[in-house]
Structure 1
Amino acid sequence: MVADDGHAAGLRLIDHAPFADPTGTRTALLLEAGSHWETVTVATMEVAAARLLRLAGTVAAEDALLVPPPATAPPPGRVARVTRTVTAQTSGFAFLRPYRGGHVVPQRNTLIALDGEAEIRTPHDDCLLVMPSLRAMPGQTAVRLARFAEE
């Protein structure tokens, strides 16, 4: 689970004021189930959504079981808090290698990208790269950097 304070570029449903208001009554959820281009992501999302609907009492347990489980069990859950959102400043933003979401960079201060001449480095050890965009345009989120919460 990734916790952050939202996106300046490209608001998600959960970022809009009626859903972000801690005193409000509206609720929105964002489910990140994996890399968008991987087949297992759809299966994981369907299982998670079916379980949520069953636990919320929206559908009967037997209806929620109609969704087949994914071929592989998901890894145990962890919480990661976004510590920095990297927004591309130039059209020259580029990662030094083709990172995928979920990649963990073990060492603090590791150079992961260049934005023009500016260096983008990991701010802490065991830095989780959240949804790195391999084609970030100026003003768009290129990657979010996160730290795992203590167990």
Structure 2
Amino acid sequence: MPMVIADAGHEAGPRLIDYAAQRGARALLMEAGWHWEPETVTRMEQTARRLLMLTGVTPGVAPPVPAPRFAQVTHRVTARSVDFAFVQAWRGGAVIPKAGTLLAMDGEAQVRTPHADCLLVMPMLLSQPGQTAVRLARLDPV
């Protein structure tokens, strides 16, 4: 299912998409899956083709797609120590049903879900200090 995720950036500094916004331009970041999976390439090609048709850059009629879910990032977790480690190999898009679920250890500090039905956005399983390890989002009601 398509999803739109809104956030305010990363503590480690601006991402490429953030530079356009700083100059008043608009930018769009599309994520389609793990970079090494063939389905990701297909999904990105379909998405890019549809976007170009919808904006009139290329001719054609964009095929309909299901309405996206919306999620707002509520917390970003930045690794503080070299000992940052997730308690399991979480995948992006996982929804953790219970608030307070242990996600990771950062040295002695526990990282837990701040709310129920917490969406994990791009967990970085090999995080370094100062890097965003995962973003935690709240899904809008269906």
1:7 alignment counterpart: 10
Instruction: Report how far residue 115 of structure 1 moved.
Output: 0.2
Distance 1:37 1:102 in 2: 17
User: After the TM superposition, which segments of 4 or more aligned residues of structure 1 sit over 4 Å from their partners?
Assistant: none
Residue 38 of structure 1 deviates from its aligned partner by 2.0
- Equivalence map 1:45-64=2 (5 Å): 45-61=44-60
Q: Distance in 1 between matches of 2:22 and 2:30?
A: 16
User: Whole-Å Cα distance in 2 between the matches of residues 76 and 112 of structure 1?
Assistant: 30
One-letter amino acid of the structure 2 residue matched with residue 13 of structure 1:
L
Is the contact between residue 14 and residue 20 of structure 1 (CA under 8 Å) also seen in structure 2? no
Give the alignment partner of residue 120 of structure 1, picking from 81, 105, 111.
111
Q: What are structure 1's unaligned runs of at least 5 residues?
A: 66-73
Is the CA contact (8 Å cut-off) linking 2:11 and 2:78 kept in structure 1?
Answer: no
Aligned identity (percent) is 55
The answer as to whether partners of 2:87 and 2:104 remain within 8 angstroms in 1 is yes
User: 2:83 — aligned with what?
Assistant: 92
TM-score w.r.t. structure 2 length? 0.88
Q: Structure 1 counterpart of 2:14, which letter?
A: L
- Alignment-derived partner of residue 19 in structure 1: 21
Query: 1:60 deviation in Å?
Result: 1.3
Helix, strand or coil at the partner of 2:69: coil
RMSD: 2.0
Residue identity matched to 2:12: A
Instruction: Give the superposition deviation at 1:39.
Output: 1.6
Equivalent position SS for 1:119: strand
Structure 2 equivalent of residue 111 of structure 1: 102
**Partner residue of 2:120?**
129
- 1:77 counterpart = 2:64: no
C-alpha offsets along residues 79-137 of structure 1, whole Å, 9 cap, x if unaligned? 11000000000000000000011111110000110000000000001100000001000
Q: Which structure has greater strand proportion?
A: 2
CA shift, 1:37, in A, is 2.8
